[in-house]
Structure 1
């Protein structure tokens, strides 16, 4: 089951409030080294996305990558450049 850490949740809530719309969206971003890449953005869900609430964050997941998203943990931290997010739990790529 996908997870969003509490720190990532707090940062995402700030961004979603600032944007006044949308949700966290995970989408198919092409292939890298023969494996699907996952993109992450704040935007409106696409028509065929699966909608979930994870740690109180609305999340839209592209149906093509739902099976990959199941094992993800999204971490976040505040940096001098602004919030930074990282997806953990993706399969290792051989390239």
Structure 2
């Protein structure tokens, strides 16, 4: 599991988590369409069937049934460009 983000994303996520006791960041599939699924994140609580990973002090959870979509993920923050400020996407690596 590889989740990448910069220092700004780390700071914004930590501030967001302060608003909910025992909060975690849930990475989720928000829609399926042609090509790749749409990915997103929400502030949530951990469930018993979640996969848990801590990245740079940020607790992330992913439903086991969709964690395959988050193997190589980047989170970008830009409140002027993205609804809610966050953009979650898969990083594609070359097999060559």
TM-score (norm 1): 0.74
Alignment of 1:37-76 (within 5 A): 37-76=38-77
Aligned residue pair count: 89
- What RMSD over aligned residues (CA atoms) do the two structures have, in Å? 2.4
Q: Quick one: distance in 2 between partners of 1:13 and 1:77? A: 16
The answer for unaligned runs of 5 or more in structure 1 is none
TM-score (norm 2): 0.74
Per-residue CA deviations over 1:30-52 (Å, capped at 9, x if unaligned) read 42226433331000123211001
Moved over 6 A (4+): none
The answer for unaligned runs of 5 or more in structure 2 is none
